[in-house]
Amino acid sequence: MSFVTGMCLFQLTRNALLNPDVRINKAHRRTAVLENQEEGEKYAEHSLRKFLRTRPPEVMPALNRFFSDNK
């Protein structure tokens, strides 16, 4: 439960502080061409996503190895 709460707090903090200007400032929503593409790319490719990209897609690697290893 604390992990889920931590992830929710992470997402809320990230949205409040690091969102590109387009999502917070209503005046810029009307523009057809966005000028902050670099900022949006930086927002989408955050450090947690970069870290998880290098990890294997397993929830519990030790448990997976325990049941999948042939003895």
How confident is the model over 8-39, as pLDDT tens digits?
998 888 877 776 654 555 666 666 556 667 77
What is the C-alpha R_g of the chain?
A: 19
- Cα angle 43, 49, 55 (rounded to 5 degrees) comes to 170
- pLDDT at 22 (0 to 100): 47
For residue 63, being part of any structural domain is answered with: no
For residue 71, being part of any structural domain is answered with: no
For residue 69, being part of any structural domain is answered with: no
Please tell me the distance from the alpha carbon of residue 60 to that of residue 26, in angstroms, as a whole number: 43
Residue tagged 């604390």 (tokens): 2
Residue 22 CB-density burial (10 A; 0-12 exposed, 13-18 middle, 19+ buried): middle
For residue 33, being part of any structural domain is answered with: yes
Q: How confident is residue 5, by pLDDT bands cut at 50, 70 and 90?
A: very high
For residue 6, being part of any structural domain is answered with: yes
Domain residues for the domain of 15 are: 1-41
Task: Quote the mean pLDDT of the chain.
Answer: 78
For residue 28, being part of any structural domain is answered with: yes
Total domains present in the chain? 1
pTM of structure: 0.36
